[in-house]
Structure 1
């Protein structure tokens, strides 16, 4: 039995959770077009659902829909394709150039209705996947434009090439990581971000979350590598005025409330920008990687414990184990940020710019999703450093 999943414009978490259910089918057809896109925070959740489909043995198919023109194979072979813009100019749907899209291509059986002069879906998948992968390799795992940038890695290296240190197979030291990611964030966010404190806090948050994904997010329950893609998405948000916030279809209720508080309580204005960073993987979920002594706790309780100081499945002698997620909370608080966590079947939000925000627990407002794998952690904060907490 076949199920069709249409990925429309600004596909959000609520839609995915309610409609990406495939219990009674063995084949899924993902219909994508030039307007297909994810709302804020949704791509990492979609990646988890995709991995769930794969774990359950579903066959995946991609179908292009409503393209202004189909791709020409001869044009694909003859053109010099070296950048993200070159890919988009080929009329390849933009959604396929991200972490979710690459995983979908990599794991699909074929792509239909893509070429004007090629009818073989398997060959179509190979050609499109090769083009995107070539550009990704040429740009050291970095792909995107002035509004968003992906830093993507595959299971055989697990770290985007642009962020690697001396040893490509080990997670880089914190100073190396921060020095490499800071210029990328600056090109996406507000160029006036000059505070050393802000750069350090942002770099600290990404470093701790990315390191956790490196250690736990690329392996299954048997500690075997999960074939596929993971990485970091950096985005920029601008609003012409406060009234425009509620009209945006790419923002969820929590994001809109966070933005309204920035305008009303923190002197935010339309001249300011916000930066969003998401770290996503196909692993078991944060709360499912804790030591055995926590297995008797509920999912929500384990998620709360994961962010406490010293909680780790590593030996205490292994450096400062168990402080990464705890330190990420401290960095988010200092940034007055909105911190979004999706861990397997749990989705929760913690806002640090609202009254009592420090005391809100992830488990208190956790939503239960209809999936059981994958992690996606996001942070959104005002780019300018004058919004930092003292």
Structure 2
């Protein structure tokens, strides 16, 4: 995709760092949405293609007869309506960052060598700045195209996950999207995926959620040179788990004190995992199973529902903890690993404090309290 001939420095400076992630996310979205006939209902904000519904919000429209882009917030047909929430958000970003392309109601694209591609660049740039899961451009009439982004409330559209195989292509594509420093594009890609990066001389270093180490070297002109991926440790807890779940685990550990106080008032009497309850005094407290560890503390098995929700989190998709069964045999401190797994999962999934219960096989079942009866702090 090109079309950057005459975009403002403010547009380039703001959008370019998102380029690699935006192309990766758009590719994931296009794989999710099957090709075929489509309809759109902007009152209900639903785009349907080949039977699959996507919640959308209007960005704007492109007129092919005079090569102009009209933002949704400036279109009298939609201005002020919920249908153009995305366009309103883009305008707000433009005001904040001084981007004329996002604050001018009618953007003239006739000066570009490829005006149609410039319109696509505007749409992709808006998607990137909003952090949306994709954008859609369709021919709405003989001389016009309508552009929409995936609405924030549509969680069915997958988030792209960093992959060691496809990442080099995404970084190179993103670096060529708009003029600007390639290292900002690489750093932006890492940031979108929650990967902390470190600058070491002419290179950026980061760790993939899988635990693999990434090194991106830059030549003396700042261009991307070599992109290297080296297998990292698969030990549990992984760096990806600590990074994404560490704070959540610490928060849930604070909840545990409140539950202990609750137990002093309403002593534990038993539990029913099938019913999802913990009997405390006269109360049946709702619980949610997180996972189980065997008697030898060498294998952790996630509850099916918990695993499905964790595996959908982009920062954990390729972490060893995202597997249905986690090997703990190499852990230097199994007790610490179990605390980080259970409490981290509870925190990430908005659960309360964690409780470990005896399992039928001599192992231990970890649950989180999911009941407003028990205070969290």
TM-score by length of 1: 0.23
> Hey, which of these two has a bigger chunk of strand by percent?
2
> Could you tell me the TM-score, scaled by structure 2's length?
0.23
- Tell which structure's C-alpha radius of gyration is larger: 2
